[in-house]
Structure 1
Amino acid sequence: MKPLVSIITPMFNSEDFISETINSVISQTYTNWELFLIDDCSTDKTLQIVNQFVSQYPNIKLLKNDTNLGAAITRNKGIEVSQGKYIAFLDADDLWKPQKLQHQIAFMETQNCDVSFSSYEQMNETGKPLNKLIKALRELTYQKYLKSNYIGNLTGMYNVEVLGKIMVPNLRKRQDWAMWLMAIKKSGKPAKGIQESLAVYRVRKDSMSSNKINLIKYNYWVYRKGLGFSTLKSVFYMLGFLYEHFFVKSKLVIKV
């Protein structure tokens, strides 16, 4: 039997995009999955929309926070109840291509890797393609990953049977980077990148990729709070990040 994949999707006031996101999971050519939609006290029509899917699909499950807890704790609630051999993440405004799970599971099973990710594309808030491809590195070591966030969270997947459940650190932003760092470190092997584009990331006005000041600020806190580095060590790595992000990683952004 094909291994079960647990998909974790936190939601907060996601009525504009959640249907499209869920449909991109339903459209997967790989069918052995469970989708956990965890609502962080939405005040719009998110729950009304999601309940329509829950009533039709037994493998789509809704969890609700009693109070607004933020993305990290919300993701962790889904991770805690997940039962899959693999855990993958999809935010409530992003999309997967139909072959995403099929190709990624086959890749992980044949390559014997614990953590994988893929190339992905970008679209704007209205869904218009930005004609940008973010190319995945073929291999990503822990030391390389410390320098910059090379894993698009919507493309990442890890093997729970090997690594156990990796919980997301309670950081306001960039908690996914800290989580993937922990996963790669625990694996002891490089993460492996799939060259094929398997997902589409929505760049919104409040997206980290659209605000360079916040990008720098929250990345610093990954070093300082997420990884527990000293102030001096955090500043040292932050300087390395600036070089890596703007002069090395930028070369992986390809116009298409």
Structure 2
Amino acid sequence: MTPRGFDAVADELYALPRDEFTSIRTERAKEAKARQPDLAKRINQLRKPTVAAWLVNQVSRRHPDEIGQLADLGARLRTAHQKLAGDELRTLSRQRNELIRRLSGRAGGVAGEAGVPYSDVAMRQVEDTFEAAVSDPDAAAEVAAGRLSAALSPSSSEDWLAAALAASPKRKAAPPPPVKKKPSKRDPEAERRQAALEEARVKAAEAEAARDEAQQALDEVSARAEKAAARVAELRAQLDDATREERAVRKELTAARKAATAADKAADDARRQVAEMESFGKRRR
């Protein structure tokens, strides 16, 4: 087999049905291991997408024009923020909401085709990811690439405004009078609080990722449980039909046995009658 590059393999994997990702990733890593061990390692590091990420990837691949509109709306919204154009912001915000709802509906359609549960959690994560593509050009590029392994989180409105103001041209102002700098004092307590804050943020991010993984597992098990319940219901219906059929056949069997017994008795009576008549004829001769 001709060796393929990382991008080609990644595109193939993230375009696959979600339940085929792991097995095909293993195959591609084995194919690359002999000649390109570094490539094999990179392939093995590709993460199986969550349900929400997989749905976004499929929508991105099927509807690239609409995905491109997310980035376009984001650029126009940032320009409107810079201008502080209220009417334009309201119009663009409405367009953004309509587009995200439409794309979320497309994700629901993909889920239905694939038999994947589109839970409230998955829907919220899908919409957050599309919102992130509007608010951040880097996120828009990730969504358009169709290789997400996890959902993205959008920037807050305050982040939008801060970014817009930072990007806007600044007015020239008179230089401030020189200020004599005071030597900075080290604040161990503030440093301790900052370190604790950073640690808490890391733990919060890890907890969020663990929650997403747990929800993903719950969605998958719930889907399997629903399929199993449907199968049990189908088998019970078949059992009920078979039971009714057995009862009907048993009734027919009982009636047939009675008829056979009666016919046997009638045949015996007829044979006896014939024998008696033959015996009587012989005596008269």
Q: TM-score range by the shorter chain?
A: under 0.3
Point out the structure with the larger helix share: 2
| Larger RCO, structures 1/2 (Cα 8 Å, 6+ apart) | 1
Give the TM-score taking structure 2 as reference length.
0.24
Point out the structure with the larger strand share: 1
Give the TM-score taking structure 1 as reference length.
0.26
Larger Rg: 2
